[in-house]
A and B are shown apart, each in its own frame.
Chain A
Amino acid sequence: MSALGAQVRTITRQRDKTHPRRINFGKWGTISLFVLPGLLLFILFVLVPIAKAAQYSLYEWDGFGPLTEYVKFGNYDRLNDHKPFRSAISHSFFIMFLSLTVQLPLAMMLALLVGRGKLRGRKIFRMILFVPFVFSEIITALIWMYVFHPGEGLANVAFGTLIPGFEGQTWLGDRDLVMYSLFAVLTWKYFGFYMILYMAGLQGVSKELEEAARVDGANELQVLRYVTLPLLGSTIRLTIYLSVLGSFQQFAIAWILTRGGSPANSSHLISTYLYKFGIKTFRLGYGSSVAVVLFTISLLFSLGYQRIVLRRDYAD
């Protein structure tokens, strides 16, 4: 017994000496323990893959075996010649253009309606408007496939009731319509996100300034144009940035709704093109060149936008 007691006492004394409940790794110990795991993960799954994509894009590669067939810029030349890729790029820009001119203003209008003021029930409206944001992209896409059903889906029934003589449309099968239909779905899913950002921005707009403008005889539209919107400048610039990058990232909703770019590869976005012609067909070198084009567009836009437009917002 006494031997055991002595043992325990020794252990306790040792523990006291090393302060076991106050582990101290020192400055560099803490830094490495805290930063390295995350940084490693980031390098392994973000930086390295992106760098490697640039390399793969110079090869003809089916994804198996070593990289042997060096084709220089051959993949890029083929991309440039492929009509579906060109139309995919223009579709991505088309979605981007509509997002900036329709989706953002709509989000702004709704934010002005429910973001502040005394309108009764504005919190309930806010909650409803923001619901689609939590749905997954695939659920969104399936719900809307159902709505756009060419027979008597909700879209055809609703337009048929509202507009006399309206003929049922194949919303997703008609190449003139499919991009608009896709855009409608993207708007349904994402306008709530921008609305929330605008509402946050509105909290920083001083009511006194708006009141001062009103006292000076400005009407509501003038107050909006000359006081509220300029004060929301930094939020608006941020949403434009997110919206442009977001337009180039769309994949799941577009992939499901267009059934992989149909009809006849006429409705691709850059990302769905990459999946169909790069991944599904195991032409990974070719797919990588699409990815590099996508990175380059995003990178150039981001750098340019941050340099020129966002710079003044970082002035603090």
Chain B
Amino acid sequence: MRSSTYIPSPTTLKIRRGLSVALKYTILILVCMIVVSPILTAILGGLRTTGEFIARPFGLPTRGIQWENYTNILEDNIFWRSVRNSLYITLASTTFTVILSSTMAFVFSRIQFKGREVLFNILSLGLLFPLGIAILPIFLQIRALHLTDSYWGVVMPLVAFSLPSSTIILRTFFRAIPPELEDASYIDGCTRIGFFVYILLPLARPAITAIATLQVIAGWNEYFLSLLVLTDSKKWPLTLGLMQFQGDHATDWARMMAYVTILIVPAVIFYLFAEKYIVTGLTGGELKG
């Protein structure tokens, strides 16, 4: 019965495999083009004049490359002030997220006490309410605490909303470290805190780097909170600075795209270095290579 099954000859198989590989490459190259072309268009846009843009929005620079779109921005003190503000927000929120979530994860994974599961479940509730959904009540709370126009008003909610996910990721990681190690370190005279600082944290470094990386991205890209909380333009991060080119009637497209390019470059460089950690953070370490 089986002999009636059609068995393709080796050459047919080879052709078929070749076709399927070609198809795969076609799909991938097409999708990659769709992903990359908007970015390239924006970069090109930053090299042209707004006049050129209005005449023909899409195209190569015809009046020479407009480097002054870039130099104007880079020579502006306001730009560097925004860079500093963005760095403040990013560094502060990353530092606090790492410290607070690792200490909480330590207790939730290593110390038994009554009410632990209840506390942990309350924390997990936070996964249901992302920052974007709760923005209005948070804004009101920030105002009630007199934190408007303060970086803390941006940093603290950012940290609070990242605590559930980062604590859960770290807790899973800490649990995987054998309890024998903990017992041995106590016998050697280590305290709980000593064990946490000198043994657990170094062992969990990949997971902690992953969390830190994700938080760096979240802090650097933060927009909505700053928009509501920071009314003083001296405190604006880079993401808010972008809006200065968008007038009510006319948009300075060339300058805006130059600004976009300036922000894209460090993001892509950071990405190239940190891709591994971003992926680890998102997948809980399941994806390697």
Contacts and interface: CB of A to CB of B under 8 A. Distances in A.
B35 A188 contact: yes
Interface in B52-102: 54, 56-59, 100-101
Nearest to B271: A134
Nearest to B141: A49
Interface residues of B, number: 94
A108 interface: no
Interface size classification for chain A: 35 or more
A136 B41 contact: no
B107 interface: yes
A143 B42 contact: yes
B286 A284 contact: no
Contact of B132 (A113, A193, A249, A290): A249
A50 B129 contact: yes
B193 A25 contact: yes
Contact of B111 (A31, A134, A248): A31
Contacts, number: 253
Contacts of B32: 125, 128-129
B184 interface: no
Contact of A138 (B37, B123, B223): B223
Given A44-B160, A134-B271, A147-B41, A278 B221 contact: no
Nearest to A306: B128
A17 interface: no
Contacts of A274: 135-136
Given A131-B268, A142-B242, A197-B282, A46 B35 contact: no
B136 A291 contact: yes
B149 to A, nearest CB: 16
B152 to A, nearest CB: 11
Contact of A154 (B58, B101, B111, B288): B58
B174 to A, nearest CB: 12
A35 to B, nearest CB: 5
A165 interface: no
Interface string A1-27: 000000000000000000000111101
28 contacts: A23-B193, A28-B113, A30-B192, A38-B103, A44-B160, A45-B138, A46-B129, A50-B137, A114-B28, A131-B39, A131-B268, A132-B35, A133-B278, A138-B223, A138-B239, A139-B260, A139-B264, A146-B45, A151-B57, A156-B58, A188-B35, A196-B283, A204-B286, A251-B224, A275-B135, A291-B133, A294-B133, A295-B133
